[in-house]
């Protein structure tokens, strides 16, 4: 039987998952591919720690160059994550004429132009299904299944850590800090959770998807990003009373002229499917001109789910190698000559409904001061709730749902409201996504 030779750089959680999958399902993969996928070299700085798998020690090296320059290796899998040395390793592999598979969304969000240009120059493929949504085949869907469709919007819960925290806060009435600590203890959240909870990981993922969906380069700094660290139990309880759940949402909408791309906590009606995607699950909803809405839900992280997406990319590239196909599909979904920069709408220009949570001094006249300023900015109020604080701290909570309003007006109004002496802390704003 023919074999396709693969080198792996990075033996962390996903790398171990890939090794396990090739060991466990190698026969089944060969039966489908008509060739074996042979892992011939594995590079990691630490090759002594027991990873709970059997690996022939002769395969292991601490020197990534042994993978990158081995003439027998057809496909290099990069699973070290981060910007460097991952970028250098990938570019070197490509320059050596090797195909690449990676799960590195941060790198692709920042350096896709450079990497895709290199793959075109050297006529090699790059697979990155595992970079967004773990086992959910969203990249394959956009590049292949929806190739005839004009995508109009992508809305997704693409960070399992943030979704786990929000779900647990909601289901078990626990504070953000308590849930985060528990998630870290269970290994669901990183020791430094900033990328996950502050929305940066989600921004990287929506940048990757938007590039493929609309054929535009994305500058990561053009994405408005707000995380979940200011979401309190009270926000979740108020949202619940109003018929909503709060999710960290990555949004990318294209009206044919301008792109609206952002990541922030969003209130989603409980009746909508995305509101019911809980725990570490991810979900991505695509809307287009042919099928309307399509939702893909699944495991967005973890050794075997994400590892399976990596191995699927390896098999797809192996199929191309075996039949001699080159450049079968452009990496960024569109032909290079058709990739054009689409202008991005500033967050101040969007319109929507808003949830505003004020912490105010409980005395007569406060409500009218706030509603007066909102009225001066053409912001209509749909409903108002006053709640005493669960933690019995200073002030009372005033929650308002607005009618459709301009974000610019909301921000200007909040700037004025937050400077009133009756306001105890910066007001929380959560956008409503109907």
- For ligand HSE, which is the closer residue by CB, 179 or 301? 301
Angstrom distance (rounded) from CA 77 to CA 102 = 6
CA dihedral over 158, 160, 161, 163, signed as positive or negative: positive
What are the structure tokens assigned to 157, written together? Answer: 């819960």
Three-state DSSP at 422 gives: coil
Parallel, antiparallel or unpaired: strands 281-288 and 292-299: antiparallel
Should residue 17 be labelled a site residue for ligand HSE when binding is judged by CB under 6 A? no
For ligand HSE (CB under 6 A), the number of binding residues is 7
What is the nearest approach in angstroms of ligand HSE to the Cβ of residue 159? 4
- For ligand HSE, which is the closer residue by CB, 161 or 210? 161
What is the nearest approach in angstroms of ligand HSE to the Cβ of residue 302? 8
Which residues between 157 and 186 bind ligand HSE (CB under 6 A)? 159-161
Q: For residue 205, indicate whether it is catalytic.
A: yes
What is the nearest approach in angstroms of ligand HSE to the Cβ of residue 263? 13
Should residue 198 be labelled a site residue for ligand HSE when binding is judged by CB under 6 A? no
What is the nearest approach in angstroms of ligand HSE to the Cβ of residue 105? 6
What is the nearest approach in angstroms of ligand HSE to the Cβ of residue 82? 12
What is the nearest approach in angstroms of ligand HSE to the Cβ of residue 196? 5
Should residue 196 be labelled a site residue for ligand HSE when binding is judged by CB under 6 A? yes
Of 5, 29, 40, 219, residue with least CA distance to 113:
219
In 3-state terms the chain splits into helix, strand, coil percentages (rounded to 5) of 40, 25, 35
- For ligand HSE, which is the closer residue by CB, 112 or 366? 112
**111 to 150: interface string for ligand HSE, x by CB under 6 A:** ----------------------------------------
Query: Using an 8 Å Cβ cutoff, are 379 and 402 in contact?
Result: yes
State the DSSP code for 376.
Answer: H
Catalytic residue among 92, 205, 247, 253: 205
List CB contacts of 135: < 8 A, sequence separation 6 or more. Answer: 298, 299, 300, 305, 306, 308, 309
What is the nearest approach in angstroms of ligand HSE to the Cβ of residue 300? 5
**276 to 315: interface string for ligand HSE, x by CB under 6 A:** ------------------------xx--------------
Should residue 200 be labelled a site residue for ligand HSE when binding is judged by CB under 6 A? no
**Ordered strands of the 75-78 beta sheet:** 60-61, 36-43, 3-9, 75-78, 99-102, 126-127
Should residue 201 be labelled a site residue for ligand HSE when binding is judged by CB under 6 A? yes
Of 343, 201, 333, 198, residue with least CA distance to 260:
343
Mark out the alpha helices in 34-175 (DSSP H runs).
Answer: 65-68, 86-95, 105-121, 138-140, 160-172
Angstrom distance (rounded) from CA 284 to CA 302 = 18
- For ligand HSE, which is the closer residue by CB, 69 or 184? 184
Q: How far is CA 205 from the centre of its chain?
A: 4
With CB under 6 A as the contact rule, which of the stretches 35-43, 156-164, 209-217, 334-342 interacts with ligand HSE? 156-164
- For ligand HSE, which is the closer residue by CB, 215 or 300? 300
Should residue 15 be labelled a site residue for ligand HSE when binding is judged by CB under 6 A? no
Query: Using an 8 Å Cβ cutoff, are 100 and 120 in contact?
Result: no
What are the structure tokens assigned to 425, written together? Answer: 């802390």
- For ligand HSE, which is the closer residue by CB, 200 or 366? 200
Should residue 210 be labelled a site residue for ligand HSE when binding is judged by CB under 6 A? no
What is the nearest approach in angstroms of ligand HSE to the Cβ of residue 260? 23
- For ligand HSE, which is the closer residue by CB, 82 or 415? 82
Angstrom distance (rounded) from CA 283 to CA 138 = 10
- For ligand HSE, which is the closer residue by CB, 21 or 321? 21
Residue positions annotated with a catalytic role = 205
Residues in contact with ligand HSE by the rule CB under 6 A: 159-161, 196, 201, 300-301
């Amino acid at each position: 039987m023919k074999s396709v030779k693969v080198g792996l750089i990075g033996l962390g959680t996903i790398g171990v998952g890939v090794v396990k999958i090739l060991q466990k399902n190698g026969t089944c993969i060969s039966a489908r591919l008509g060739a074996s996928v042979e892992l011939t070299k594995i590079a990691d700085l630490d090759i002594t720690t027991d990873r709970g798998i059997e690996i022939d020690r002769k395969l292991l090296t601490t020197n990534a160059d042994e993978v990158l320059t081995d003439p027998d290796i057809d496909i290099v899998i990069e699973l070290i994550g981060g910007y460097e040395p991952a970028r250098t390793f990938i570019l070197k592999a490509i320059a050596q004429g090797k195909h690449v598979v990676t799960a590195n969304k941060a790198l692709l969000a920042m350096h896709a132009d450079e990497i895709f240009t290199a793959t075109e120059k050297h006529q090699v493929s790059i697979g990155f299904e595992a970079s967004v949504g773990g086992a959910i085949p969203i990249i394959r869907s956009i590049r292949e299944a929806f190739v005839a469709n004009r995508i109009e919007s992508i809305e997704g819960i693409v960070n399992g850590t943030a979704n786990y925290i929000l779900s647990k806060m909601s289901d078990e009435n626990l504070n953000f800090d308590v849930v985060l600590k528990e998630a870290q203890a269970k290994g669901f959240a990183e020791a430094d959770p900033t990328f996950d909870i502050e929305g940066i990981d989600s921004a990287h993922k929506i940048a990757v998807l938007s590039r493929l969906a609309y054929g535009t380069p994305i500058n990561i700094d053009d994405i408005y990003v707000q995380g979940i660290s200011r979401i309190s139990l009270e926000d979740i309880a108020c949202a619940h009373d109003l018929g909503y759940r709060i999710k960290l949402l990555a949004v990318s909408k294209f009206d044919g002229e301008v792109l609206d791309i952002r990541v922030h906590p969003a209130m989603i009606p409980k009746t909508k499917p995305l509101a019911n995607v809980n725990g570490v699950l991810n979900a991505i909803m695509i809307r287009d001109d042919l099928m309307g809405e399509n939702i893909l839900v699944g495991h967005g992280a973890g050794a075997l789910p994400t590892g399976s997406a990596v191995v699927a990319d390896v098999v797809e590239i192996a199929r191309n190698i075996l039949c001699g196909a080159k450049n079968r599909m452009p990496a960024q979904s569109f032909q290079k000559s058709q990739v054009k920069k689409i202008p991005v709408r500033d967050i101040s220009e969007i319109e929507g409904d808003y949830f505003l949570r004020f912490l105010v001094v409980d005395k007569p006249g406060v409500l009218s001061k706030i509603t007066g300023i909102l009225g001066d900015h053409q912001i209509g109020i749909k409903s108002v709730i006053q709640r005493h604080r669960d933690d019995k701290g200073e002030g009372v909570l005033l929650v308002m749902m607005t009618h459709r309003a301009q974000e610019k007006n909301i921000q200007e109004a909040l700037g004025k409201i937050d400077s009133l002496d009756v306001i105890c802390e910066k007001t929380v704003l959560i956008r409503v996504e109907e």
